[in-house]
Structure 1
Amino acid sequence: MTDALFRDDAYVRETTGYVQAHTPEGGIILDASIFYPTGGGQPGDSGNLIWDTGTLSIATAVKAEGGHVALVPAEPAALPAVGTKVIQQLDWERRHRHMRVHTALHLLSVVIPLPVTGGSISAEKGRLDFDMPEAPEDKNYIQAQLNTLIAQNLPVTDDWITDAELDANPALVKTMSVQPPRGSGRVRLVRIGQGSEQIDLQPCGGTHVARTGEIGSVRIGKIEKKGRQNRRVNLFIED
């Protein structure tokens, strides 16, 4: 299993690693990875690998068998051999925008406290689909509430519970279409706020900013009808 360094500290932009294997599709598996693999609506990270005799541009990262993370080259090229020590460099600006959007979507699920039926993240925008038969009457109110929460600069932290503890607290899961990652015996919870100021707690394997103020101001875009029961709320980060 690849050591998921991105989960321990989402702010690590560069580190070393060792090539453990190559996938049949031409991906590179390292012993430890700061590259987040595509999942939960969040795109895989991009960046570069550097070693003594070469450099390789990484287009994305994906999940591979056995709990591994496979780094996908941007174009066909010679891969570093198994055992090679490499330097991992993230496209930090892109990753950080993913972190901002992802955390903003957690806050959106607080402002609109309805079951989430889907979602996606990009470097410019994000969206959540809600089990919402009727569209909200005031989009500007949602935007104002969201920016108020962001401005409180609440801490974003994580914790871990067992699979059994999650089963005993099913209300923690807001998403109807994506279930929390299981299999290791424990599930990661992302918490926004602390103590009496806690406003959100839900299972999530993605990357997030350390405090809500880091998101910056956001804008609510179109609210679209997606089926009889679903409404899609689009969100843009402003900068």
Structure 2
Amino acid sequence: MTASLMTEELFRADAYLTTCQAKVIALVDTGIQLDRTVFYPTGGGQPGDTGSLITADGRVISIVDTQKGETGIVHVPAEGSPSLNIGDEVTARIDWERRYRHMRMHTPLHLLCAVVEGGVTGGQVGESKSRLDFDIPGDKPDKETLTARLNELVQGNHGVQPRWVSDEELAANPNLVRTMSVKPPTGQGRVRLLDIEGVDLQPCGGTHVRATGEIGQLLVSKIESKGKQNRRIVVSLMDP
């Protein structure tokens, strides 16, 4: 069975949900599986959410990571957390401030794809800075020029929303896929895309802001050579 099919992924449709009611459906070595969740699992360079599960009788289980398991999304509890049983009802609550900063950092990486030519060879989303690695022959891009172009797109307040295409549609449009080493998951009949209106369209399962104006001011803080043609571009949020 494909991972996460047993867990309804509420964050896919609405990244702004912070809580939900859920039921424990499995207990595995690494943690707790729920029938539905607002917790995003580590993937696509974006860290898994942290937060808490709260029982009806007031027990609080601190969640320190969220991962994709073999049969669903696994919520990893802190060591020494209260135990749960299958069938228990809980309120799942993410650390919204941390998640929102990840959203404000993930969307700029898609903007970066729109202004930098070349395939993506790797990436990582952080709370205050993130990076993408590009396969770029020739000279390194200019930091000041990229910074200006990114902030122009932020100020344009372009709408951001997910949409879906069939496996066949994606196969017929291979240019939508920018990543060179990791391909989007197929085999379930459809693939989730992130559409930044008039700017960028590519497969992505992560969480994002609703409009680029929410991102805030950006800075291309570093461009490094990581090989003959590999360039690492680091983007930072300017607010503390």
- Matched length: 233
* Percent of pairs with identical residues: 52
Displacement of 1:5 after TM fit?
A: 0.4
**Aligned in 2, Cα 1:20/1:4: closer, same or farther, shift over 3 Å?**
same
Q: CA separation in 2, counterparts of 1:122 and 1:135?
A: 27
- Residue 20 of structure 1: which of 10, 18, 25 is its match? 25
CA contact (8 A) 1:135 1:223 kept: no
Residues 28-79 of structure 1: per-residue CA shift (max 9 Å, x gap): 000001000000000000001100231111001000113x100001223332
Aligned to 2:111: 107
Residue 164 of structure 1: SS of its match in structure 2?
helix
What secondary structure does 1:166 align onto? Answer: helix
The 5-angstrom pairing of residues 185-200 of structure 1 reads 185-193=189-197, 198-200=198-200
The separation in 2 between residues aligned to 1:79 and 1:111, in whole angstroms, is 49
Cα 1:176–1:137 change in 2 (3 A) is closer
Q: Which amino acid aligns with 2:232?
A: R
Q: Determine the C-alpha separation between the residues in 1 that align with 2:20 and 2:159.
A: 25
Letter in 1 for 2:182: V
**Secondary structure at 1:210 match in 2:** coil
Q: Partner of 1:4 in structure 2?
A: 9
Q: Which residue of 2 aligns with 1:151?
A: 155
Tell me how far apart the structure 2 counterparts of residues 74 and 237 of structure 1 sit (CA, whole Å): 29
Counterpart in the other structure of 2:183:
179
Distance 1:134 1:89 in 2: 47
- 1:62 maps to 67
Instruction: State TM-score, norm by structure 1.
Output: 0.95
Q: Could you say if the C-alpha distance between residues 179 and 76 of structure 1 is closer, same or farther in structure 2, counting changes exceeding 3 Å?
A: farther
Partner residue of 1:235? Answer: 235
Describe the SS at the equivalent of 1:127: strand
Distance 2:9 2:206 in 1: 11
- Residue aligning to 1:222: 222
Gaps of 5+ in 2: 1-5
Amino acid at match of 2:170: L
Give the 3-state SS of the residue equivalent to 2:84 in structure 1: coil
| Deviation at residue 135 of structure 1 after TM alignment | 3.8
CA distance in 1: counterparts of 2:204 and 2:115, whole angstroms: 18
What aligned pairs does 1:70-219 form with structure 2 within 5 A after superposition? 70-193=74-197, 198-219=198-219
Distance in 1 (CA, whole Å) between partners of 2:78 and 2:100 is 20
1:27-66 to 2 correspondences below 5 Å: 27-53=31-57, 54-66=59-71
Cα RMSD over matched residues?
1.1
Equivalent AA in structure 2 for residue 4 of structure 1: E
Q: Distance in 2 between matches of 1:165 and 1:79?
A: 45
Relative to structure 1, is the Cα distance of residues 137 and 17 closer, same or farther in structure 2, using a 3 angstrom cutoff?
A: closer
TM-aligned CA deviation for residue 221 of structure 1: 1.1
Q: Verify the 8 A CA contact 2:62 2:81 in the aligned structure 1.
A: no
